Amino acid sequence: MIRCVDTFSEIPTIYPNGVFDLARWRAYAQNHFGENISLFEDDMNECLATGSYTFERDYLPVLQAVWQHPWLEEMHQSFLAVVKGLSERLAQKFGNDLDVEKDWQSYLDALNSMDLEGYVALQQKAYDAYQESFG
C-alpha cells in the first residue's frame, strides 16, 4: 500500500545554518526509510563515479535552490492537498492490496481526481523558474 508521510517540518534539521548537510540527510532518510536509504544514494553515487559530476557542483546547488525557493511552502501545501486521505481513497477504490498492474486506468483516474495535474504543474513552474535563474 502507498504510504505518504509529511516530513516537511523535519527538513530544516537537514539545513543547519541554511546549508545542506549530507550526514543529517542520511540520518533523516534512515529514520524514514530504514535499509531502503540506498535506493536514494545508489543512483547519485553511480553518476558521481563517472567523474562527470560532483556533489558540490551538480547536486548541492539544486538542494540549496529547493530549500531557498520562495514557493516552497506553497508546494508543501499542494502536496498536502494531493495526498490528503490518499491511503484511504486508494484502499476504498482498490482494496488494501493495491495492484497497480491489475487496473492501471482506474489508478490513473483516482490520481487525476486528486488534482495531481495541478501539483505537477506547480512543480514544473518551480523547475522552470529555477532553470531561468540558475540555468
Average pLDDT for 113-132: 82
Give pLDDT, residue 23: 92
Do 35 and 87 reside in the same domain of the chain?
Answer: no
Domain end, chosen from 30, 49, 68, is at 68
Distance of CA 34 to the CA centre of its chain: 17
Domain span holding position 55 = 7-68
Cβ pair 7, 28 in contact under 8 A: yes
Do 55 and 95 reside in the same domain of the chain?
Answer: no
Asked whether residue 15 carries a pLDDT value surpassing 70, the answer given is yes
Q: For all residues of the chain together, what is the average pLDDT?
A: 82
- Where does the pLDDT of residue 24 fall: very low under 50, low under 70, confident under 90, or very high at 90 and above? very high
More confident residue, 89 or 25: 25
Separation of alpha carbons 56 and 131, rounded Å: 18
Structural domain count, the chain: 2
Asked whether residue 13 carries a pLDDT value surpassing 70, the answer given is yes
pLDDT digits (tens, 9 = 90+) for 44-99: 889 899 999 998 899 888 888 888 888 889 999 998 988 888 878 877 877 766 56
Give pLDDT, residue 27: 92
Do 58 and 80 reside in the same domain of the chain?
Answer: no
Do 63 and 108 reside in the same domain of the chain?
Answer: no
pTM of the model as a whole: 0.56
Separation of alpha carbons 73 and 65, rounded Å: 14
Write out the three cell numbers for 76.
Answer: 508543501
Which among 40, 43, 39 is positioned nearest to 53, based on CA atoms? Answer: 43
